[in-house]
Amino acid sequence: MGETLMTENVCPLCGHREGSLLYQIRNYAIVRCRSCDLIHVSPVPSTEETSAFYQGLASKPRPGSLRGFKYRFLVWLMGRMTGLRGELLEIGCAQGDLGMVLKRSKRWRYHGIDLEPSLLSVAKKKGLEVSYGGIEDQKFDDETFSAVVMWHVLEHLPRPMETLLEVFRVTRKKGVLLVGTPNIEHRRARAQGPRWKYIGPPGHLSYFTPATLRKMVESAGFKVSFVYGHILKTHMTLVAKKT
């Protein structure tokens, strides 16, 4: 256990201020919350720092780890879980890979949101319904969506708990939430420490274990069906329901 730090920002999951220092990367401390174990960055980078960082990456298609078979499997799974056709929201839709798969499925009406205009314009050209901004900017009505997908989004957010509460509000009863994020318990993360490729402020701000991911999603009100995370898997997948 590293030294105890009073963190400059409160823990995004539980609001506690004390963390054990795991790594120091430039001016960012990576700490483990002493109360809930969430690993997070302190301080949270300023908007200027994050926009400069994301501008450097802008317009490159984001790697779709959710292509082909995986997408089709997830679409099948969500259909099974909700038993509904309905509205599906993808937060962080990038160039719209999931939207294209759903177009063929005809089961879901797709809506994507993202913060990168050049990727959104690629998605628009494919005929997808997408809009700019975070979920807080959209002013969706209560219980609009039967499914919400956040694929490699949660770890980037400065206020992930607030975002999940908003996701809960816009999800219909019996609707599902699907989250994908790197797993900090992966054996390579343990072996490589601060050199692990997913440790990267100001891009990644929260680092989840299966337990802390479950805790955060449950704190937002969802009932977690399962977290598929394993020390041999770099990424984990969580499926939750609004009961």
Query: Residues interacting with Zn ion, by CB under 5 A?
Result: 11, 13-14, 16, 33, 35-36, 38
- Nearer to Zn ion by C-beta: 41 or 78? 41
Q: How far is the CB of 14 from Zn ion (least distance, A)?
A: 3
Phi-psi region of 151 (alpha: psi -120 to 50; beta: other; left: phi over 0): beta
Tokens representing 52? 């400069």
Q: How far is the CB of 40 from Zn ion (least distance, A)?
A: 8
Q: How far is the CB of 208 from Zn ion (least distance, A)?
A: 12
- Nearer to Zn ion by C-beta: 215 or 241? 215
- Nearer to Zn ion by C-beta: 13 or 66? 13
- Nearer to Zn ion by C-beta: 149 or 216? 216
Q: How far is the CB of 21 from Zn ion (least distance, A)?
A: 15
Widest CA span of the chain, in angstroms?
53
Q: How far is the CB of 206 from Zn ion (least distance, A)?
A: 10
- Nearer to Zn ion by C-beta: 14 or 25? 14
